[in-house]
């Protein structure tokens, strides 16, 4: 078994695709429009399935705002170097919501960035 994908709802698909592909460096692997249901699904990731999990961006054509609620935590991306990745994201216009520093009650350096809809993304060192 493997985790196939995680889904989040986005309010502007093109803006979100720009963030995930240009700012974070993911690849768009599939995009499907469903006119009868008035929604689009876009699958992005760092490697094509079945080798890797995907992130499904769901764009509901008639919905322009969501309440993320208090149960959502964050997405996490493992990177070679947290500080270098933060600087690259900053240079590409990404929003850094927590600068690189040791995590609470630990020594592992982590950072957080936000996607265009405010979803937090944790940057963690590769293991």
- DSSP-derived secondary structure letter, 18: H
Q: Is the dihedral of CA 7, 12, 14, 18 positive or negative?
A: negative
Q: Could you tell me the fold of the domain covering 5-60? A: 2,3-Dihydroxybiphenyl 1,2-Dioxygenase; domain 1 (3.10.180)
CA distance 83 to 99: 8
| Domain ranges across the chain | 5-60, 75-125
The verdict on whether 122 is a catalytic residue reads: yes
**In CATH, 75-125 is 3.10.180.10:** yes
Question: What pLDDT shows up at residue 123?
Answer: 96
Q: Of 14, 51, 91, 122, which one is the catalytic site residue?
A: 122
48-71 tens-digit pLDDT: 767 789 999 999 999 999 988 877
Q: What is the mean pLDDT of each run of 10 residues along the chain (127 residues)?
A: 86 98 96 97 87 92 89 91 98 98 92 96 93
Q: 75-125: same fold as 5-60?
A: yes
| Cα 84–Cα 125–Cα 18 angle in degrees, nearest 5 | 60
CA nearest neighbour of 46 among 103, 126, 114, 108: 126
CA nearest neighbour of 59 among 97, 84, 31: 31
Rg (CA), the chain: 15
């Amino acid at each position: 078994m493997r985790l196939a994908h995680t889904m989040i709802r986005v309010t502007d698909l093109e803006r979100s695709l720009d963030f995930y592909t240009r700012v974070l460096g993911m690849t768009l692997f599939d995009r499907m429009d469903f006119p009868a249901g008035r929604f689009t699904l876009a699958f992005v990731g760092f490697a094509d399935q079945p080798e890797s999990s995907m992130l499904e961006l769901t764009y509901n054509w008639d919905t322009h705002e969501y309440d993320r609620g208090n149960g959502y935590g964050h997405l996490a991306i493992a990177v070679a170097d947290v500080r270098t990745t933060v600087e690259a994201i900053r240079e590409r216009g990404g929003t850094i919501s927590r600068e690189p520093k040791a995590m609470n009650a630990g020594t592992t350096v982590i950072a957080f960035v936000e996607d265009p809809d405010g979803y937090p993304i944790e940057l963690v060192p590769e293991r």
